[in-house]
Amino acid sequence: MSAGRRVVIVGAGQGGFQTAACLRQEGFAGSILMIGDEPGLPYQRPPLSKAYLKEGDAARLELRPRAFYERLGIELGMPNAALEIDRQNQTLHTADGARHPYDSLVLATGSACFRPPVPGAGLPGICELRSLKDADRLREALKTARRIVVIGGGFIGLEFASVALQAGHAVTLVEALPRLMARAVSASLSSAFARFHQASGLTLRLSESVTEITAGAQGGYCVALGSDQIECDLVLMATGVRPNVSLAASAGLVIENGVSAGRTLQTSDPQIFALGDCASFPDPFTGRRVRLESVQAAVDHARLIAKNIAKQEASVYGALPWFWSDQGGWKLQIAGLSLPGDDEVLIERDGRPLSVFRFRSGRFVALETVNGPSEHMAARKILQAPVSLSRKDLEERDFDLKGLAQTLAKGG
């Protein structure tokens, strides 16, 4: 019986929204309150570095219209920041002075951009990209900027750089590591993307670190890479994020690269769950504690948490991680989670990179594809199935994942 129970969700982003929606899908009849510190309705972030930069249509970002929340009886408390969790009295304190009692509390506080300790990184006007407000500032800056420096060669830096190049800007991207997206993809795909972006006009400075940013003589900025200087009108810091854990930490919850959640996504306090960007959890596929910054993780975490709260169950998390990134006409998709040191086999068709198979101890663990959505979906099916494929198995089948997925579906 859930009618008299109260769920409070902190963070009205991807995972907060999904938890509220799934609670109702699971038949939860108690009260649901979502507290978020951003104005407006919950929205999706992925388009902020892609279509939104070109179109600027904020209404299309909203995850659901206001009527959805009204119809499902989901109370929206925005904008309002959660300040303190009184665990003893199971009450959340918010910035407006209110006290919100809860039976279950869900922490969906996401992450915040990280600025490396480089002199000048905090100069006024230097951009970052996390929120709708950040994207609006960038869109405005793009109207007058000609020369752009992007610091950081991960997904967001590269997606933004692609959009800026397509719009005719001169873009230099600086990455301290020797290859692009090094945390996320194989060396083969890093190289393929580097060649692709350079062919589109990107000036790439790999293995180089920004040592200082100063204000330029005629406005704009001067980005120093040691003795080398790059003059520009706009700087985007795309140097990663850090999980928002201060609320959880000050309540005494265990923090391990994020709010530490167990297999049921409960934190060190069983009444409190954590999800998405702010949470680390035991990943059954790698056997490691991981923290993932992806829509998939936020959504699948939310589904499990909603089920566990609504049905008062202790089901265990087991969703396969998957990711995507859109960069200038190349759609990168990753099924599964690879680790540094995993073997890689690049399959090229017609001279273009199509897919990279990743193997750990000879076992197929992840697939990276470029513009290969059906292979990606086949890999997701196979990696979630109770079968273990070796490199030899795949070689014998000419790496035909679609054929294999069909065979599996027929019970072969």
Ligand X SMILES: Cc1cc2nc3c(=O)[nH]c(=O)nc-3n(C[C@H](O)[C@H](O)[C@H](O)COP(=O)(O)OP(=O)(O)OC[C@H]3O[C@@H](n4cnc5c(N)ncnc54)[C@H](O)[C@@H]3O)c2cc1C
Q: How many CA atoms lie within 13 A of 80 on its CB side?
A: 20
Q: Is residue 36 a contact residue for ligand X (CB under 6 A)?
A: yes
- CB atoms inside a 10 Å sphere around CB 198: 12
Interface region with ligand X, contact rule CB under 6 A, candidates 199-207, 260-268, 275-283, 371-379: 275-283
Residue of 22, 35, 174, 337 interacting with ligand X (CB under 6 A): 35
Cis preceding-peptide flag for 284 (omega within 30 of 0): no
Q: Is residue 321 a contact residue for ligand X (CB under 6 A)?
A: no
Q: What binding mask, one character per residue, do residues 75-114 give for ligand X by CB under 6 A, x or -?
A: ------xx-------------------------xxx----
Interface region with ligand X, contact rule CB under 6 A, candidates 32-40, 215-223, 332-340, 379-387: 32-40
H or E element: which one contains 323? Answer: strand 322-327
Residue of 49, 90, 104, 369 interacting with ligand X (CB under 6 A): 49
Nearest CB to ligand X, comparing residues 142 and 230: 142
Residue of 37, 62, 75, 212 interacting with ligand X (CB under 6 A): 37
Tokens read off for 132? 């709708």
Q: Is residue 353 a contact residue for ligand X (CB under 6 A)?
A: no
Nearest CB to ligand X, comparing residues 273 and 323: 323
Q: Which of these, 220, 245, 246, 242, lies nearest to 231 by C-alpha position? A: 220
Q: Which residues contact 275 (CB under 8 A, 6 or more apart)?
A: 15, 19, 106, 107, 108, 261, 265, 297, 298, 301, 302, 305
Q: Is residue 10 a contact residue for ligand X (CB under 6 A)?
A: yes
Measured from the CB of residue 390, what is the shortest distance to ligand X in angstroms?
29
Cβ contact 190:175 at 8 Å: no
Q: Which of these, 254, 337, 351, lies nearest to 293 by C-alpha position? A: 337
Q: Residue numbers of the site for ligand X (CB under 6 A)?
A: 10-16, 35-38, 45-46, 48-49, 81-82, 108-110, 129-130, 156, 244, 247, 276-278, 293-296, 298, 323-325
